[in-house]
A = this chain, B = another copy of it.
Amino acid sequence: MSTATIGPEAPATARPLPVLNDCCTPTSAMSDDDASLLAGMFKALADPARVKILSMLLNAAEVCACDFSAGIGKTAATTSHHLKLLRDAGLVTGDRRGTWIYYRVIPQRLAAIRDALTLGQ
């Protein structure tokens, strides 16, 4: 049996996300790069199937990839597509243990997104 980490294409310890406040002035917005980076993270969450996947992962230490398809009501191919997007965003990680791949959420990354939305203070 092999144990190999599946993704993430984006490292789990990616650089901190920019925050929305304290980043610019009322008449000039944040940089293109920062805005794209943040928007990309939100895009990773901007689909009901991916929200559902995350909801399953947040109620267990880990979830077998084989359970997502039934859980979200999509084909295995579609499920795999969404898992890849979540991996690429650095939100989840999976490791193969024999036949199955087990996924976990990366809490620090989710917290970083939350922090990007935190208002003044």
State how many copies of this chain the complex holds.
2
CB-nearest residue of chain B relative to A29? B52
| Chain B CB within 10 Å, residue with most, of A55, A60, A71 | A55
* Interface of A: prevailing SS: helix
CB-nearest residue of chain B relative to A27? B67
Q: Is A111 in contact with chain B by the CB < 8 A criterion?
A: yes
Question: In the assembly, what is the distance between CA of A81 and CA of B79, in Å?
Answer: 31
Inter-chain contact A45/B39, CB cutoff 8 Å: yes
Inter-chain contact A26/B111, CB cutoff 8 Å: no
What's the least CB distance linking A82 to chain B, in Å?
11
Residues on the B chain within 8 Å of A30, using CB: 51-52, 55
Inter-chain contact A35/B56, CB cutoff 8 Å: no
The answer to whether A46 and B51 touch (CB under 8 A), given A22-B59, A24-B59, A29-B72, is no
Q: Is A21 in contact with chain B by the CB < 8 A criterion?
A: yes
Q: Is A98 in contact with chain B by the CB < 8 A criterion?
A: no
Residues of A that sit less than 8 Å from B by CB = 20-30, 32, 35-36, 38-39, 42-43, 45-56, 58-60, 63, 67, 70-72, 107, 110-111, 113-114, 117-120
7 tightest CB-CB pairs across the interface, nearest first?
A: A26-B60, A29-B52, A35-B48, A43-B46, A42-B45, A21-B58, A30-B55
